[in-house]
Amino acid sequence: IHYAVADVTNKEEVQAVVDLAVEKYGRVDVLFNNAGVMPTAPLSETRFDEWREMLDINIMGVLNGIAAVLPIMKQQQSGHIISTDSVAGHVVYPGSAVYCGTKFAVRAIMEGLRQEERENNIRSTIISPGAVSTELYTTINDPENREWVKDLMSKGAEGLSLK
């Protein structure tokens, strides 16, 4: 097993991970875009820095991964790009408009990828989990929202009741 640490917002670091895979294994068969943050808050709070962070990680991180592997997969005439979306990419809920927007964007990007690269035998898949107990809630800066999401994640989908 080989690994490298990379910041998904840094396209050179993402490319270095892909280059390592090619160097060690001669090809890239699968990319899994799985980085994300969720600092949710109502739009009226105008949390510009949090919005930028979500856009950079949740959307540009996916695009940086795709850009790094796509030339290789096209040359191979095969590959599979997987991205974690979210139920939030299908349903918008209060206090999460920007987060949901980033997840809707992932859906659109992955659908566009599917349409553009199907003739190159490059598949695309989104995974849209609901409430899952992870550390994602720790990226929420609003204490009340953070506790609500933490509680929701501990209960799973059956605990969902929107505010």
137 in active site: no
The closest alpha carbon to 86, from 34, 30, 12, belongs to: 34
Position 42: which residue type?
Answer: P
Rounded to an integer, what distance in angstroms lies between the CA atom of residue 68 and that of residue 34?
Answer: 15
Rounded to an integer, what distance in angstroms lies between the CA atom of residue 45 and that of residue 51?
Answer: 11
Rounded to an integer, what distance in angstroms lies between the CA atom of residue 105 and that of residue 110?
Answer: 8
| 117 close to 143: Cβ distance less than 8 angstroms | no
The closest alpha carbon to 36, from 141, 138, 161, 136, belongs to: 136
Of 3, 25, 99, 137, which residue is the catalytic one? Answer: 99
The set of catalytic residues is 99
